[in-house]
Amino acid sequence: MLRSYSRIHIFIVLAFLLVLFGGIYAFLYLDLGYDSSTFSFCQPCNEGSEPDVKSIMAKVMEDIVGPTECQEKGSWKIGDLTMNYGVKYAQPSTQQGRTDVNSVTNWNAPLVWEGTFDPVVIDAIYKKMDPRIAVVVFAVGKYTRFLEAFLQTGEKYFMVGFRVTYYIFTDHKEEVPNIDLGEGRKISLLDIPSATRWQDVVLGRMKWASIAIDKQIRNEADYLFMMDVDSVFYSRFGAESLSRLTGVLHRLFYKVDRDQFTYERRNLSRAFIPFGEGDYYYTAAVWGGYLEDMYKMVKYCYMQSEEDAKNNIEAVWQEESHLNKYFLYNKPTKVLSPEYLWSDYDQVPADIKVVRISQLVKNYAEVRPNGGQ
């Protein structure tokens, strides 16, 4: 009886110490600023690697309370920021850098400009993680004419050295050009119906992308970008853009007051954002993120536009309006400067040191099914 009583006390003391140690560890983990973009309890285990505090804690907890199911098991995440030995690169400075632009958001996410990262370091880190990157573009009607330049320049500048699949949604497969692709890169063609309004093409992107992710892309990619096909790459667009959810600043609004943003201002729309609210205005021509986070966001934009249709309203800038509403309440974990989507219509200001991708000059009345801007 006495022996059993002592065992109970020993168990209680050990349990208390375990909880105390776990609490201290959790406090340090959060206080140091680590988040799921860098570390994850649910990352796949590497056999043969040295055990760390997290794995030891997980094993101890499993021995006490039994095995627990990891909700993110099998999903790809940006892992530890490690790199191979011997990579040569310039020493980073704590005193010098971009002073003409802001390089961090007010929720402490990176705001990426030329001069805020070292491409050698970035590539050395992210190529070890070896993500499968999907690029979704829509080439409907006469927009197939833009595919050749998009793909050729993408092969020269977009995620060079990474595994990339271009998912091309089109109603004219026979017009898709034959492009020489790099190693580990391929094209996947998906059929969609033609449209009589360009607005329907824009709104339909969310619907068809959601279906394709469910049926195909989820099994073939870890990271997904949505991009406009009427664009050309002019310079590096690389791993510095990868994060859980990445938005791109719209070139027309990155210097203006938020009340000048072209948010949806009608409160009947699900995309409604009142005056006096908002962070940035994001373009819907380039955005990306983890596959499952993008699926959640794409489906959100589709469902919100469907709700608008039931109420006989269409958001002022279709999917872009819903995207901006989503980003307002679900902050992106990385924001890219307008370098990552400029326009050949506009002069390049001094703060844009490099144009990485740019929208082409075109005759909208001629290429769009119903014409107009």
Q: Which of 155, 264, 320, 339 is catalytic?
A: 320
Look up residue 31 and give its two tokens.
């206080």
Average pLDDT, the chain: 84
Q: How would residue 205 be classed by pLDDT, with cut points 50, 70 and 90? A: confident
| Under 8 Å between Cβ of 261 and 255 | no
Q: Which residues does the annotation place in the binding site for Mn(2+)?
A: 228, 230
Give percent of the chain above pLDDT 90: 70
Per-residue model confidence (pLDDT) at position 63: 42
**In this structure, is residue 357 part of a structural domain?**
yes
Per-residue pLDDT tens over the stretch 182-195: 999 999 999 988 76
The DSSP annotation for 265-294 comes to: --TTSTTB--TT--S--B-SSEEEEEHHHH
Q: Which two tokens stand for residue 245?
A: 């959810």
Residue 187, C-beta contacts closer than 8 angstroms, at least 6 positions apart: 151, 165, 166, 168, 176, 179, 181
> Does residue 39 lie in a domain region?
no
Note the pLDDT of residue 366: 67
Q: Which residues are known binding-site members for UDP-N-acetyl-alpha-D-galactosamine? A: 138-140, 143, 228-230
For the stretch 313-324, pLDDT in tens is 999 999 999 999
Residues making up the binding site = 138-140, 143, 228-230, 250, 262, 320
pLDDT of 52 reads: 43
Tokens standing for residue 158: 């977009």
Pick from 242, 252, 261: nearest CA to 333: 242
Average pLDDT over residues 333-361: 96
Average pLDDT over residues 113-138: 96
What's the mean pLDDT in 329-343?
98
Residue 44 predicted with pLDDT over 50:
no
- Tell whether 156 is covered by a domain: yes
Q: For residue 286, give Cα distances in angstroms to 125, 136, 225.
A: 23, 10, 7
Assigned domain for 1 exists: no
For residue 108, the domain's CATH number is 3.90.550.10
Question: How many structural domains is the chain composed of?
Answer: 1
307 flagged as catalytic: no
Cα separation, 190 vs 367, in Å, equals 21
What pLDDT, on a 0 to 100 scale, did the predictor assign at position 20? 56
The model's pLDDT over 131-190, given as tens digits with 9 standing for 90+, comes to 999 999 999 888 899 999 999 999 999 999 999 999 999 999 999 999 999 999 999 999
CB 277 within 8 A of CB 258: yes
Query: Would you say residue 11 has pLDDT above 90?
Result: no
Its domain, for residue 248, covers 53-367
Specify if 131 maps to a domain: yes
Instruction: Please say if the pLDDT value at position 6 is more than 60.
Output: no
For residues 179 and 25, what is the distance between their CA atoms, to the nearest angstrom?
Answer: 52
* Residue 64 pLDDT > 70: no
Question: For the chain, how big is the Rg over CA atoms in Å?
Answer: 24
Q: What is the pLDDT of residue 311?
A: 95
Residue 276 lies in a domain: yes
Question: Does 242 score more than 70 pLDDT?
Answer: yes
Asked whether residue 111 is domain-assigned, the answer is yes
Is 28 part of a structural domain of the chain?
no
Q: 109-144 burial, b if ≥16 CB within 10 A, otherwise e?
A: bbbbbbeebeeebbbbbbeebebbbbbbbbbbbebb
Write out the two tokens for 42. Answer: 């649910």
